[in-house]
Structure 1
Amino acid sequence: MSARILFVTTAMAGVAASVAGVATAAEPAREPAPAERRAFFGELHLHTALSLDAWTYGTKLLPEDAYRFGRGDTVMVPATQVAREQGADGKKEVAAKRAWPLDFMAVTDHSELVGTMLALDDPKSDFANSEAGKRILADPPLAQRMYIVARRGRGEVPPQMKDPARIRDAWERTVRAANDFYAPGKFTTFIGYEWSALPDGKNLHRNVIFNSTSAPLPFDATQSQRPEDLWTYIESVRARGMDVIAIPHNGNASGGLMFDWNMSDGRPIDQAYAMRRASIEPLTEIAQIKGQSETVPMLSPNDEFANFEVLDRLLGPAGVKSAPPGSYIRDAFGRGLVIQSGVGANPFKYGVIGSSDIHNALSASDEAASAGGQFGIDPQTMLPRGEFAKKALGQPTTPQKLSASALALPEVAADPKRAEEAQRLSNVERSSAGLAGVWANENTRESIFAALKRKETFATSGTRVRVRMFGGWDFERELMKRKDWVAQAYAHGVPMGADMPAKPAGERAPKLLVQATKDPEGANLDRIQVIKVWLEGGSYKERIFDVAVSDGRKIDAEQRTTPLTSTVDLSTGEYRNSIGAAVLETVWEDPTFDPKQPVVYYARVLEIPTPRWSTLLAVKNQLPLSKDVPAIIQERAWSSPIWFTP
């Protein structure tokens, strides 16, 4: 485990402090001022044994367990789960506890056939005693392949896998758990699920999050794989008085479909579609265990930090590459400007969050709490050893053979070598979990959901870096030295997730206030960057500006600085916080601004170099470092954008 240095600056303590106000009958509750908003960290993408795929991996924990773990309780993980997923001896349950509690959370099990696999855990059930049930119990991944084949119209799943009574019971359990664990002011929970469309293996999943105490049965991808049909369901739910949003899954595995130029029917995006999508989908994921979807070197060749946690394959065992254009959010920001110039509305006007997409109910985001694959772990009790550690690092001692049910899939049978290589890399290429950050007045459903809808959000790659950004025209250069700078920023500008007001006469360029505060138990900060995407000549361009840097480095005429030297010791998996800064902040004015050009700005914050989870796991097991992934990474955070439209 990497070295940790614990210290909290005055600025951190001020941001983290919570003061509860009590209203009396004679004194109505005061509406909190925007300047009183605090940063909360959460998880809006997590699976339990109710998800078909999670059950096939060996997961036995359920939504109640997930919420207990998320709020910081110790959870006892069943022996069969840790045996299948982490290679434990399988004889006794294992205690697991999160390193620090989340503030808010939603369990989002796949809605397709939700909960039906639990019947196989009962040896007396009709499913367990059926011929299909016996085959699945002998080879659990077979259940998922049955479902894939059925979705392609080439077969049917066993009737027990689509039992409507079991699906209804599972959904009622999901709703009940979210309500039972909601503790306003301490731990906020949301009812949610994942709509899991996967046309031709291209990921179009959305997490559906309700701001309500009840919710109708999910609309799932067996009913339709068109996002527009999911939106119709969401509109019908809103018409019943329940607020609900959809959050697209990490787009990197979408094969270019997530942020396509066209609608599902192949026609170019029109104004009605753009407005509808922007209303229903205010946010998108930018980081989770399946990599990041900010950008990649192919799309951003001048971004030296673009080669971060790249997972560029479609989901599934065949290892088919995913097309980058249309799969990454920076590209989508540019496409949105182009579409808006033509139809008058922007379909990709997204704020950003991170989450986990962990499939064993244990939402853990620290680098040491990952060991590849789909799982979160307690590194003190669940760290893989021996053969399981080698497998996690892509270093099996014996070749990994594809099962007969996998070879039955045409794309696997057509290229089994590529499928075997994809299977080998499927663990080590996975990232540690991301986090969703919001700036909200209080830790309640209403307040956090409002922050999600107005896009006053940020994402991290798992670290608790806090970042906020404001845009305005007349911010003073020394504004951030004032104690009331946040109140002044709200009063004279807009927070991230919003549109810049119209340019006043006499003002030269927009000014951005950006502040980042380090993880109190993590690495120091290297720099803050502003990413600019703008419309020019019918297309879009991008540029990166270093705007605040640590260690006395200079920012040159090209608005860039020099790299820091890594302190990571690869032999021990430790690093030193002898470089970097605890807090970085700046008032930055765009030196390239053209008032005739629509622009998107967002901030990216980089930590100093630290060891990747795969390095920590290799060191713990005295194994060679993986050659398939970087040994060192720079964890990061991203703000939601601010838009300027002439």
Structure 2
Amino acid sequence: MIRRRGAAIAAWAALGAGLGACSQSTPPETPPLAVEAEPAAARAPAAPETRRAYFGELHLHTGYSFDAYALMGSRADPDEAYRFGRGDAVTYLGDTVRRSRPLDFMAVTDHSEYLGSFMRIDREPDGPLAQSKGGKLMAANPLAAALGQLVSVLSADKPTSTAMDEAMASAWQYEVNTANRYNQPGKFTTFVAYEWTTMLDGKYNLHRNVIFADKGPAAPFTATDSRRPEDLWAFLDAQRAIGIEGLAIPHNSNASGGLMFDWKKSDGHPIDEAYAQQRALNEPLVEVYQHKGQSETSPLLSPEDNFANFERSEALLTGGPSAVNGSFTRQALGRGLVLGQKLGTNPFAFGFVGSSDFHNGLSDSAESAYAGNGLNSTDPHVNLPDPAFAKAILSQKVNPAGEAAPAANLHRPSDSEALRHTPALLNWSSAGLTGVWAEENTRPAIFAALRRRETFATSGTELRLRMFGGWNLPSGMMQQAGWVARAYRMGVPMGADLPLHREGNPAPTLLLEAAKDPMGANLDRIQVIKIWLDGDGYKEKVFDVAWSSERQRDPRTGKVPPVKNTVDLKTAKYANSAGATVLRVQWSDPEFDPAVPAVYYARALEIPTPRWPTLLAVARGLPLPEGVPPTLQERGISSPIWYTPGKGS
């Protein structure tokens, strides 16, 4: 049986995070049988230079998540989610919809808490759960039940508790089986996964998505088992010991109240070496882009970064603004250097991924496929919000903290009752994406890329970003055929530690390449973000290292001026007459000090394109909303490369 007790869920549910839309369920199609991959022992290992970029989704909810069902009215299930993700047509809000282009890999990460229980009552109204005291409460008022009433019933009513345990065990097996059925090696990779959901004080986000390499555990470890991340890591350690490999990915640290990357453990004591080692092993990645705001950095932390003010959402749905210190990944990289120097292990040595966190079961990262939080992903060719609904979405006011005020009458006739009072936050964003460099599109290859952090995160675009680092790399290397193979042999890819620095070596050289999304905008520039140890603290600096057109670096500031903005706000169209299709550069750190630990990562920016409120306003003949940017520069960031004096890969 799965243990489900305590009041942890009520606090989180009260947040109402990720408010989505009602999805009309259709009978699931039978997916093609999973193709057995050739045994690894029978194949020679592929050379690293054969790795290509694959794009995927590692954070998506269906109606099997209690909040998606009860708060947003979603009825999509994992079967529909995987079909939509691989490019099939599905029925949503009565329409036939399809993703703009198929994903390469995917994981459905439904909340493990109350997993599938509301859906069980919906589908089995005469079953034991539906007929229990708690089940009747859930059926009569799903919203009230999800917001906390169910917790007291569970603790007092054994029949409800027993039926809930059985329903959750059955739902977990269905999640596992569905992920395995849709896994097609070489074509579409799916992972067994879930979300561990804890919200301290009812407002500080410490959620983790848990991704398994192949088979999953008998039951997920949930926030009702423990609200401490350290206990989740201990669970993963125990699973690893019996051959079940997995990792946890924190998300929305921007809403963590400074707790995600605190100097302290969850018990309030300072981080020690054991904590650092356990976290580094179990959390090699962190999610930086998703629809509830980016977690890379804030202008409050990076005032010299001209591009830090991007897709900000530093206010929670409840509880007011979240503290920025301890909530953003760039700062965490700096804190990691400090802790690594002190403890010998860096607990914040993570790579980057991006996802959606959509709650309607449909993942699409195209800017045009997002129409506000109330709908999550849409098919803009089929079910774009009608004029009245679009007007309600776009007429909201955004306060200085970045949180939108609820809009009245935010509904369409086909939407659920819960959605009718759902604010579609104008400062929230379209979905992010995870890019990995892997030899093939299979579970072993994709998971290995995640584990070694050879990943990059994008704000939704499919631009391709690559970075290598090494010592004494030949000048002009990237202009020669076979440079990627040489880079793997002579250096390290993103996500790795630089080799040991030898006396007499110059500064490390980074090889950086960005290629535009084939269906998207041209590129503006590539930047290198450097964080280095400085006394008891750390500093950061952003370097423009490659850019398009004839712009010149400002000799006083060292910065490159903005790229031309081609967006026509009247038509919501842009032209690729500005920017470059590919940017490539070999760069050495002009301020390198071999005695100082440092970390580097790359950021590639596209030229400006219309943001989703602009696209929606123009499509429905409405004025542009006030208080939010009409355009954005989509982007991607690479996982870092670390330099530690006296150490190396």
TM-score normalised by length of structure 2: 0.86
The alpha-carbon deviation at position 395 of structure 1 amounts to: 3.6
The answer to whether residue 358 in structure 2 is matched with residue 358 in structure 1 is yes
Partner Cα separation in structure 1 for residue 424 and residue 315 of structure 2: 10
8 Å contact from structure 2 (residues 289, 295) kept in 1: yes
Gaps of 5+ in 2: 1-36, 398-404, 411-420
Partner Cα separation in structure 2 for residue 241 and residue 107 of structure 1: 22
2:64 paired residue number: 50
The alpha-carbon deviation at position 146 of structure 1 amounts to: 1.8
1:31 paired residue number: 45
Alignment of 1:492-531 (within 5 A): 492-531=490-529
The alpha-carbon deviation at position 619 of structure 1 amounts to: 1.1
1:225 paired residue number: 227
2:301 paired residue number: 299
The answer to whether residue 569 in structure 2 is matched with residue 570 in structure 1 is yes
Partner Cα separation in structure 2 for residue 291 and residue 148 of structure 1: 30
The alpha-carbon deviation at position 627 of structure 1 amounts to: 1.4
Give 3-state SS (helix, strand or coil) of 2:383's partner: coil
Partner Cα separation in structure 1 for residue 56 and residue 233 of structure 2: 24
1:6 paired residue number: none
Distance 1:462 1:298, change over 3 A: same
The alpha-carbon deviation at position 381 of structure 1 amounts to: 1.3
The alpha-carbon deviation at position 504 of structure 1 amounts to: 2.3
Distance 1:162 1:573, change over 3 A: farther
The alpha-carbon deviation at position 505 of structure 1 amounts to: 2.4
Match of 2:454 among 445, 453, 456: 456
8 Å contact from structure 2 (residues 600, 641) kept in 1: yes
Gaps of 5+ in 1: 1-21, 83-92, 403-422
1:4 paired residue number: none
Partner Cα separation in structure 2 for residue 166 and residue 454 of structure 1: 36
Partner amino acid, structure 1, of 2:427: E
Partner Cα separation in structure 1 for residue 582 and residue 428 of structure 2: 29
Partner amino acid, structure 2, of 1:521: M
Partner amino acid, structure 2, of 1:501: P
The alpha-carbon deviation at position 379 of structure 1 amounts to: 1.1
1:546 paired residue number: 544
8 Å contact from structure 1 (residues 252, 312) kept in 2: yes
Partner Cα separation in structure 1 for residue 150 and residue 625 of structure 2: 32
Q: Deviations over 1:350-374 (max 9, x none)?
A: 0000011110110100000001116
The alpha-carbon deviation at position 569 of structure 1 amounts to: 0.9
The answer to whether residue 394 in structure 2 is matched with residue 379 in structure 1 is no
Give 3-state SS (helix, strand or coil) of 2:504's partner: coil
The alpha-carbon deviation at position 429 of structure 1 amounts to: 2.1
The alpha-carbon deviation at position 394 of structure 1 amounts to: 4.3
8 Å contact from structure 1 (residues 531, 544) kept in 2: yes
Give 3-state SS (helix, strand or coil) of 2:53's partner: strand
Greater shift after overlay, 578-587 or 473-482?
Answer: 473-482
The alpha-carbon deviation at position 382 of structure 1 amounts to: 1.8
1:608 paired residue number: 607
Match of 1:64 among 79, 99, 105: 79
Q: Deviations over 1:28-60 (max 9, x none)?
A: 522110011000000010101100011021111
Partner amino acid, structure 2, of 1:95: T
Partner Cα separation in structure 1 for residue 310 and residue 377 of structure 2: 20
Partner Cα separation in structure 2 for residue 639 and residue 166 of structure 1: 41
Partner Cα separation in structure 1 for residue 169 and residue 349 of structure 2: 35
Alignment coverage as a number of residue pairs: 587
2:468 paired residue number: 470
2:98 paired residue number: 97
Give 3-state SS (helix, strand or coil) of 2:277's partner: helix
8 Å contact from structure 1 (residues 292, 310) kept in 2: yes
Partner Cα separation in structure 1 for residue 54 and residue 588 of structure 2: 28
Partner amino acid, structure 2, of 1:385: D
Alignment of 1:332-481 (within 5 A): 332-373=332-373, 375-395=376-396, 400=408, 426-481=424-479
Give 3-state SS (helix, strand or coil) of 2:192's partner: strand
The alpha-carbon deviation at position 626 of structure 1 amounts to: 1.6
The alpha-carbon deviation at position 384 of structure 1 amounts to: 1.1
Give 3-state SS (helix, strand or coil) of 2:599's partner: strand
Alignment of 1:304-323 (within 5 A): 304-314=306-316, 316=317, 318=318, 320-323=320-323
Partner Cα separation in structure 1 for residue 280 and residue 461 of structure 2: 28
The alpha-carbon deviation at position 94 of structure 1 amounts to: 1.2
8 Å contact from structure 2 (residues 63, 119) kept in 1: yes
Partner Cα separation in structure 2 for residue 399 and residue 630 of structure 1: 19
Partner amino acid, structure 1, of 2:206: L
Partner Cα separation in structure 2 for residue 427 and residue 106 of structure 1: 25
Give 3-state SS (helix, strand or coil) of 1:587's partner: strand
Distance 1:158 1:253, change over 3 A: farther
The alpha-carbon deviation at position 573 of structure 1 amounts to: 0.8
Runs of at least 4 residues of structure 1 off by over 4 A?
22-25, 125-139, 147-151, 153-158, 396-399, 423-426
Match of 2:91 among 71, 76, 79: 76
Distance 1:560 1:398, change over 3 A: closer
Give 3-state SS (helix, strand or coil) of 2:313's partner: coil
The alpha-carbon deviation at position 250 of structure 1 amounts to: 2.3
Give 3-state SS (helix, strand or coil) of 2:349's partner: coil
8 Å contact from structure 2 (residues 392, 407) kept in 1: no
1:417 paired residue number: none
Partner Cα separation in structure 2 for residue 257 and residue 457 of structure 1: 25
Partner Cα separation in structure 1 for residue 159 and residue 636 of structure 2: 44
Give 3-state SS (helix, strand or coil) of 1:527's partner: strand
Identity, in percent, stands at 53
Q: Deviations over 1:103-133 (max 9, x none)?
A: 0011000000100001332444465567765
The answer to whether residue 560 in structure 2 is matched with residue 561 in structure 1 is yes
Partner Cα separation in structure 2 for residue 29 and residue 352 of structure 1: 30
The alpha-carbon deviation at position 312 of structure 1 amounts to: 0.5
Match of 1:267 among 269, 279, 287: 269
8 Å contact from structure 1 (residues 113, 162) kept in 2: no
1:87 paired residue number: none
Give 3-state SS (helix, strand or coil) of 1:213's partner: coil
Partner Cα separation in structure 2 for residue 599 and residue 148 of structure 1: 49
Match of 1:488 among 480, 486, 497: 486
1:172 paired residue number: 173
Partner Cα separation in structure 2 for residue 158 and residue 377 of structure 1: 40
Q: Deviations over 1:82-116 (max 9, x none)?
A: 2xxxxxxxxxx211100111000110000001000
Distance 1:587 1:48, change over 3 A: same
Alignment of 1:235-254 (within 5 A): 235-254=237-256
Distance 1:534 1:382, change over 3 A: same
Partner Cα separation in structure 2 for residue 253 and residue 156 of structure 1: 34
2:114 paired residue number: 113
> What is the Cα-based RMSD across aligned positions, in Å?
2.6
Partner Cα separation in structure 1 for residue 169 and residue 543 of structure 2: 51
Q: Deviations over 1:383-419 (max 9, x none)?
A: 11133223332449996399xxxxxxxxxxxxxxxxx
8 Å contact from structure 1 (residues 353, 457) kept in 2: yes
Alignment of 1:11-30 (within 5 A): 29-30=43-44
Partner Cα separation in structure 2 for residue 218 and residue 424 of structure 1: 30
Distance 1:150 1:556, change over 3 A: farther
Partner Cα separation in structure 2 for residue 429 and residue 136 of structure 1: 32
8 Å contact from structure 1 (residues 175, 215) kept in 2: no
Partner Cα separation in structure 2 for residue 157 and residue 634 of structure 1: 54
Distance 1:322 1:506, change over 3 A: same
8 Å contact from structure 2 (residues 605, 633) kept in 1: yes
Partner Cα separation in structure 2 for residue 628 and residue 555 of structure 1: 31
8 Å contact from structure 2 (residues 290, 430) kept in 1: yes
Distance 1:608 1:229, change over 3 A: same
